[in-house]
Amino acid sequence: MCLEYGRTWDIIFNPRKTQCTTFGGKQPRLCTVTLDDVNLKWIEKLKYLGCYFRSNTCYSDIRNYYGCLNNILSVLGKGKNEITAVHLVRTYCIPILTYGSEIWLTESEKCSLNIYTVSQ
């Protein structure tokens, strides 16, 4: 099906870069999925737009956030201006946490996040 779709829309699917996973249940161990006569690998978690997905869960890798935060705090030093620190964290750190969130946040959660951010 994918190869036919690819031929129609001029898309090339690479079976070496394509993986299978399931959401909402166990992975079917006896099921074999092929693409261009190549067996696809079953994986437990996948990364998409900086977010990791494992069955029914989603989480962001926060190591980049802490790295950014530590850089800001080390540059500002002990006599840091709190307004400057908040501005830099909002500008550089928060986008790291929220990047890709549109794939796992509902519309109402996005609205409440926007309200929370604005009201702070």
Residue that wins the pLDDT comparison between 76 and 104: 76
**Residue 104 pLDDT exceeds 80:** no
Residue with tokens 């620190």: 85
Question: Taking 80 as the threshold, does the pLDDT of residue 30 lie above it?
Answer: no
Task: Read off the pLDDT of residues 38-90 as tens digits, 9 standing for 90 and up.
Answer: 998 888 887 776 667 776 565 656 777 888 889 998 988 877 788 888 888 88
Write down the mean pLDDT value for the chain: 77
The answer to whether 92 and 72 are in contact (CB under 8 A) is yes
pLDDT cut 90: percent of the chain above it: 3
DSSP 8-state code for residue 40:
P
Structure tokens at 116: 């929370």
More confident residue, 119 or 93: 93
Could you give the percent of the chain with pLDDT greater than 70?
Answer: 71
The least confident of 55-64, 65-74, 94-103, 111-120 is 111-120
